[in-house]
Structure 1
Amino acid sequence: MSNKIDVKNIAADYESMVKPDKVHTSLYSNPEIFEEELDKIFNNTWVWVGHESEVPEVGSYKTAMIGRHSVIVSRDRKRNIHVLLNRCRHRAATVCEGKKGKTKSFMCPYHGWGYSLDGALRAIPKPEEYEGVFDKSELPLISLRFETYQGLIFATFKEDIQPLEEFLGGAKKWIDLFVKQSGGFPLKVLGDHRFRFPGNWKIQLENTTDAYHFPIVHKSFVSSVDEQTADIFDFLDGEGHVEDLGNGHSVMVMIPELVDLEHDLEAPIPERFQDLADELAAEGHSDLEVRRMVRAVGGSGFNLNLFPNVACSMAFFRVLAPVSVNETEIHHVALGGEGAPAAFNQMRLRLHEHFQGPMGFGTPDDAEAWERVQKGSQAGNEEWILLNRGQNHLTTSPDGNVSGAVCSETGMRAAYQQWKKMMIA
């Protein structure tokens, strides 16, 4: 049986493009496939748009993307959250261009139509010209269905979709563990930074559960930390694993002892965090509180991939937004604790900057690798992307899921099987 695919007709043959152990290179570079992905995937599933802490007060808002659709996440005067299509009902101009902030209303800059925080149309210049034409109540900003889990907000264009918790399925357990990294306080977004790389969105999706690249791509990061920390990140031969959680979700456990941050709080405090522990103790926090915060400050020992656009990655949210077939925008969202001591949140930010920041030791190297994948994938049109590492050494996890070694490509295979399911549907 030939592995060749007619690339001219490839967009109509998704079944042949995704094999159990590989995917066709055209998934990275075919613009027709990309356009169908926006519709069949991003318009037809739950997509992460924010965290409740990003809209904490009346009038708070943030903007986000669902595929190419700009949306506003807002909190109204009754403190209810809304996810609104960022499009005036008159002539389609966006009514909000800010990344985040506070406002009393949204106004179209083109003709001045004004909308309240819940999307209701409140004001129209020269309303007498519309007398008998329509009623303002008929033209609010379009509201999207949304649901939340542990403060994570997901929205969808699909009205008859399964409930969010059902979609998350086996990932819920890991979200519950992830939110413990706020040190005993409610999880809070501390800020974010954004960048674009010249590559397909699925390249980044794969990266979240790819431990295989870590000692190669992140050699500069490992060389920048103390010996104790370097030993922690030497996990390829450790007891970690990658688990298929269903619906395209997966988890990569790199540091098993840091999966549950409230377990074994009596363990010795790492030397690199001793100064933080001393500072927190001097502020009057109990020994238990200090240990909980110190244990949580470096993040969880796993990366959780939530298909299709967000990862709970050790200590931060990584959000992807597809721009074009060969361009993707990435948001790295720093996390801390609401009401937590300043020293705890500051340490979280410094650690975030050290790896994820634009001058950090991790993300710039990742982005270089992603760019090279995109560039190399366009060399030839009959080639395949291999996803077969670890496929003959799979086990069943305690939760009954397919599981492989920490350096296996189990998570990638899970994501592409969900991709194929949705593209065929």
Structure 2
Amino acid sequence: MDSIVVTGNGPLSGQIPIAGAKNACLTLMPATLLSEEPLTLTNAPRLSDIRTMTDLLGSLGAEVSTLHNGKVLAMSSHHINNHMAHYDIVRKMRASILVLGPMLAREGHAVVSLPGGCAIGARPVDLHLRALESMGAELELKDGYVHASTPSGRLTGGTVEFPFASVGATENALMAATLAKGTTVLKGAAREPEIVDLARCLRKMGARIEGDGTETITIEGVDRLNGATHPVVTDRIELGTYMLAPAICGGEVELLGGRKDLLSAFCDKLDEAGVEIDQTEQGLRVKRRADHIRAVNVTTEPFPGFPTDLQAQMMALLCTADGVSVLEETIFENRFMHAPELMRMGATIDVHGGTATVTGVRTLKGAPVMATDLRASVSLILAGLAAEGETTVSRVYHLDRGYEHVVRKLEGVGARIERVKAQ
């Protein structure tokens, strides 16, 4: 397996372009299944998860072409010739479950394997299934597959009440409701920018949606949707990750395409820790105000709160902060698996259940470490930027799922980092 070698060498300087959002793109791609007409996505990220979704859509009969060096996805689902999403593809990525709602809405039946993905907790799909049942779907779990059908051949509008905000379940229900007969109301819906981006795209396709970005979304079903062209929103998690690079090792970096409104709670915490963030014409300029970061307490929450997908990276920053920080993870269990690896680099971290207490140390030391999931992998790279000596991060295939050209982007601002191919 490939590894990434990072050698701490001081402050960073320059610009980093931020890609389109992985999580938004993986949600937008299944929307092609809702229409016979073409759907084109621009500003697409070039990631292994995007290739996996491309393979999945292709297995269902959709045509997906990558243009302009992978940054444009031209899709067409004029002829769906398979209604089963097989385990061999779905197991690679949890976002695969997002084909269920669109397939069921357009075709009236679908068989989708229960999904896989990062080992950061159970993340069950029961909320997805309950939402579809509220729209008249009949579901059966058999041999690891969800068998879904609509007795009348079409979903019907209804009220979906989520017991807690679920991004994926909101997205699945939102797409399914666009072709349902009548009006569907999603209560307790997630509010993430990726959901707003999906709603904007669906409206371009002819969907009737109101309330996206709030806890109540109303969808009036239509008989058919048309094609559209839509730009993928900026990746706020990649943005936040690279904002932490100059915060950890000093210097000043401009993140091209960055917007504060995508990460307001995260920006507030960085400001509290002593990081200066300024909006520019091209994005966000980030630098720390003093030689050391101040300790802060962080609790992950659904949007607009602090993102769980930035918790691991934030922990890397706080490892060398002045004082004691407490990080509480409320979204996913088992999401502190990066803590033991940071401790190999000299960090002082005490984990109890969903809470991690981080006591800042003067400096981290380079060490061989192992990535356990997507966000953990990049947190170890960030820690390596600030560590004395050389840090080797193994199992970086996780990284390829969520960050395009991470070595090139960090090299561009002065980091000493290289990818070493497996022998």
Under TM normalisation by the shorter chain, which class is it?
under 0.3
Q: TM-score with structure 2 length normalisation?
A: 0.25
